[in-house]
Structure formats: C-alpha cells, structure tokens
C-alpha cells in the first residue's frame, strides 16, 4: 500500500503562511493573539504532524481509501522526556478516549508528548510513544521504569478506512521527530486529516492569547482536533452561519443521520506559573469556547481537554525539596477568558483552513466556503 505521507515540520512554515486564516477573512475576535496566533507562541512548545492520504472509491478494508494521521504536541520540545509539566484535564462528555489521564489526575504532571490520532489507532500510537521513549534511553538497565502516554482520538470513519489500521509505529515516531516551533499547519493534516466539524470539513486548528497579570505578560495557546457539531448550531463571531449556509452537507447518509455526534480534543498550553489544580480549572473553561461556536456535548461526542504549564521546570523528578512558583487563584481569571477566546478562534481557524475532501465509498465533506462566509458576516454587520 502506497501512501502520500506528509511529515510536516519546516515544510509546514510555508504552507501555514500561504493559507488564509479566520482573521484574514475579516472575522472579528476578542483578545490579543501572539505573533503566530498558535500554540507554539508558548515558548518551547512544538507540534508535528504525519498525514496519510491514499486511494479513492469503494472501501476495501485494509487497503483504503486512507484519510488519517497523527499529531504530536511536545510541551518542552526535546526536553519533554526528562522534564514533566504541571497539567490538569477535564471531559465535557466522555464518549471518547485520552489515555494516561488517570496518572495526570493523580500525579499532577504530564510526562512526554500529547498525541492525537483516530479512534482505532490509539493503541498503536500509545505503544509507539513508549518505544520512542525507550529509544531515547528513558528506560534504565534496572528495568524499573514505566510510561503512561497521553493519546487522544476522534473518529474519522466517514472518510477513512478506520478498521484498516493504517497508522503504524513509524508514523507516530515521525510526528514526534518532526515536531517544531513556529507556524502550525491547520486543516486536513495529522490526526485531523479525516475529520468533520459542524458538517463542514474539520481537522486541526490553533490560536493564542497574550494576557497581562500584575504587569507581567503571559502567553496561552490552544490546539484543537475538531470533529463535532451539527450544522444548524454553527456560530461564528455571534453570527448563525449554520442557519445561513444550509447546503454543502456531507455526501453520506450516516453523517446526515448522526449529525452532531463526534468529538473535539483540545490542548491548552501556557507559560503562566500554574499548578495542577489550576490547570484543571483552565481545562474546565474549554467548553465555553466550544459552546460559542455551537457545540454542546452530544451523547455521542468525546469532548476531552488537557492543559499544561511550561513554567516550573525541573520539579517533577527533584531529589530534594524544591520551590514551586504559582499565581494565586485570584489572579488567574484573565487566563480563563483567554482560554475561551483562543478555543473559539482555533475551531474557526480549523474550518477556514480545511479543504473539501472525499474518502471511502466516495463520501465527500465540503469545506466552509470563504466567500459565502464573508457574505454572511457582512449581512450581520460583522
């Protein structure tokens, strides 16, 4: 089986620069973004993708068509292995999976990368992260070592041969190896390759915010894998876009019958000095951003979020008492607001970046048309 395999790292810089984003179309957003308007505005955070696209026509299980991939988020770049980050997670609706979160909840730390893929490739990606860590000498000769990777998923079976198990260990390794800072490619890429959002083409999106707390500037960034929502509820900058653009529905009877089911995975990163319980509070604000775009957590949706801080390095494995810096709770409300704002914009960036894609059995999901979106926004004086 031959795939078009795109391992996106430096190549992503040129692609990300060429595609219009929501702000380029005149969509108004609250809050000040970072220079990249991406999760990588948080210093040290790196993102990598591996994208698999091959085949057309009728589904032949194990052969294709293939429309899937893997996305890797490294909290501290190449130091992510040795320096866990304070973290917290939250699930709005749990019809989904994010492995490793039991230990995140217990320990308060995220160890290693966060990976996102399709529903039936969680296992292989989890195992691949462990084998990658072993290859990086994480395990010592005593054998007293374990790893509980964080791997999240959304379902791409509308377009992808999801039961063909096309994601392999090397695909996950490539996403990790190719992770870089800088612009982040959005849309039909990585884990988001085959995803659907509000019955338009979905996928990967990102955004960031700069906030000032007690005269100190902090950065907060998010990355989403958006695969949720029905058309009628799609709202962009307060405008009922889904009620205005009612055609261009996915060409597939299953999607029409189950519209709204799906999932969204959100990763929140910040350089603000927050500890685990505060990061859980941050993750609990993610649904407000999802709700602003029209998501409300269907029964069939897996809406799972994790937040981490890049502050307080070298504390998780300290051999003696260490000092930990944290903002007091009364100071962190601006970060709550920034989370809501960045999640909203990241989802809309997903919709703007994604392109029309066909897949198994000639199923087809259409991109949100930019010209019609702009016309609708103008109609509502936005």
pLDDT of amino acid 150: 99
Verify whether residue 303 is a known catalytic residue. yes
Between the two ends of the chain, the Cα-to-Cα distance in Å is 47
- pLDDT (mean) for 88-98: 98
The residue among 230 and 144 whose pLDDT is bigger is 230
Catalytic-role residue among 91, 207, 301, 309: 301
Please give the Cα distance from 174 to 128 (Å, whole number): 10
Verify whether residue 107 is a known catalytic residue. no
pLDDT of amino acid 29: 99
- Residue 159 confidence (pLDDT) above 80: yes
Question: Between 333-353 and 276-284, two packed helices, what is the crossing angle to 10 degrees?
Answer: 50
- Asked which of 32-46, 218-232, 245-259 is least confident by mean pLDDT, the reply is 245-259
- pLDDT (mean) for 107-132: 98
Neighbours of 11 (CB within 10 A): 14
Please give the Cα distance from 169 to 247 (Å, whole number): 39
pLDDT of amino acid 257: 63
Cis peptide before 65 (omega within 30 of 0): yes
State whether residue 34 is helix, strand or coil. coil
Q: What is the CATH number of the domain that holds 13?
A: 3.60.70.12
CB 83 within 8 A of CB 314: yes
Per DSSP, the residues of 164-195 read G----HHHHHHHHHT-BSS----BS-GGGTT-
pLDDT of amino acid 258: 63
pLDDT of amino acid 10: 38
CB 132 within 8 A of CB 173: yes
- Residue 311 confidence (pLDDT) above 80: yes
pLDDT of amino acid 7: 52
- pLDDT-derived band of residue 1, with 50, 70 and 90 as boundaries? low
Catalytic-role residue among 41, 85, 303, 309: 303
Domain boundaries, position 139? 4-379
Task: Domain count for the chain, please give it.
Answer: 1
State whether residue 208 is helix, strand or coil. strand
Q: What percent of the chain has pLDDT over 90?
A: 88
Average pLDDT, the chain: 94
Catalytic-role residue among 263, 271, 358, 371: 263
Bridge partners, residue 304, by sequence? 91, 265
pLDDT of amino acid 4: 59
Verify whether residue 161 is a known catalytic residue. no
pLDDT digits (tens, 9 = 90+) for 166-211: 999 999 999 999 999 999 999 999 999 999 999 999 999 999 999 9
- What the block records as the tokens of 111 is 């160890």
């Amino acid at each position: 089986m031959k795939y078009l395999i795109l391992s996106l790292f430096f190549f992503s810089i040129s692609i990300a620069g060429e595609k219009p984003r929501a702000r380029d179309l005149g969509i108004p957003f609250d809050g000040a973004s970072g220079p990249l308007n991406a999760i990588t505005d948080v210093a040290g955070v790196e993102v990598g993708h591996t994208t698999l696209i091959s085949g057309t026509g009728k589904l032949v299980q194990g052969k294709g068509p293939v429309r899937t991939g893997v996305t890797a988020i490294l909290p501290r770049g190449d130091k992510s292995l040795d320096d866990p980050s304070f973290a917290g997670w939250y699930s709005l609706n749990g019809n989904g999976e994010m492995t490793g979160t039991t230990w995140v909840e217990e320990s308060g730390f995220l160890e290693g990368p966060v990976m996102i893929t399709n529903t039936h490739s969680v296992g292989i990606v989890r195992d691949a992260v462990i084998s990658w860590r072993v290859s990086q000498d994480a395990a010592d000769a005593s054998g007293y070592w374990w790893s509980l990777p964080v791997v999240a998923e959304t379902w791409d079976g509308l377009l992808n041969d999801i039961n063909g198990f096309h994601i392999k260990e090397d695909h996950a390794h490539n996403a990790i190896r190719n992770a870089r800072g800088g612009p982040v490619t959005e849309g039909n890429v990585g884990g988001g390759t085959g995803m659907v959002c509000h019955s338009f083409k979905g996928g990967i999106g990102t955004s960031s915010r700069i906030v000032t707390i007690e005269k100190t500037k902090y950065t907060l960034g998010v990355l989403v894998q958006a695969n949720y929502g029905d058309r009628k509820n799609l709202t962009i900058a307060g405008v009922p876009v889904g009620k205005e653009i009612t055609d261009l529905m996915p060409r597939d009877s299953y999607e029409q019958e189950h519209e709204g089911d799906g999932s969204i995975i959100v990763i929140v990163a910040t350089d603000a000095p927050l500890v685990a319980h505060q990061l859980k509070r941050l993750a609990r604000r993610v649904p407000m951003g999802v709700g602003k775009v029209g998501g409300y957590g269907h029964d069939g949706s897996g809406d799972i979020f994790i937040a981490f801080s890049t502050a307080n390095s070298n504390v998780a494995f300290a051999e003696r008492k260490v000092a930990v810096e944290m903002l007091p709770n009364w100071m962190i409300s601006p970060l709550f607001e920034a989370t809501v704002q960045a999640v909203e914009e990241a989802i809309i960036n997903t919709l703007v970046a994604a392109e029309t894609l066909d897949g198994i059995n000639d199923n087809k999901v259409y991109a949100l048309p930019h010209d019609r979106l702009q016309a609708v926004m103008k109609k509502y004086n936005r």
